[in-house]
């Protein structure tokens, strides 16, 4: 983890970068999969919800690289398919 940077700030920056570079789906997938890596400290019961532990830097890096690769492949394949189909000359 970069020195002087909290885990929350690093996750926020990573999510924001995915949003700006790709789309909200990539950001949402990143946060959803990152939340799934949190360990359960106390399971849910009738009176209270489950208590989850904190996220780790190792799991953050792993999830980010997975989502970044997926978003990059999706963006590059959609760029090939969705090229602009306007005519080259504007004189008609």
- Cα 77 to Cα 12, 20, 52, 71: the distances in Å are 27, 18, 37, 10
* pTM of structure: 0.75
C-alpha 69/C-alpha 21 separation (Å) is: 12
**Whether the predicted pLDDT of 91 surpasses 60:** no
**Whether the predicted pLDDT of 86 surpasses 50:** no
* Domain ranges within the chain, ordered by starting residue: 7-42+52-72
Between these two residues, 80 and 83, which has the higher pLDDT value? 80
């Amino acid at each position: 983890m970069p020195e002087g940077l909290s885990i929350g700030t690093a996750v926020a920056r990573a999510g924001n970068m995915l949003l700006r570079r790709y789309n909200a789906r990539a950001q949402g997938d990143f946060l959803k999969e990152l939340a799934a890596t949190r360990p359960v400290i106390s399971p849910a019961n009738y009176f209270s919800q489950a208590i989850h532990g904190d996220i780790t830097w190792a799991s953050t890096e792993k999830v980010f690289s997975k989502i970044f690769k997926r978003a990059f492949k999706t963006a590059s394949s959609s760029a090939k398919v969705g090229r602009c189909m306007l005519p080259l000359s504007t004189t008609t």
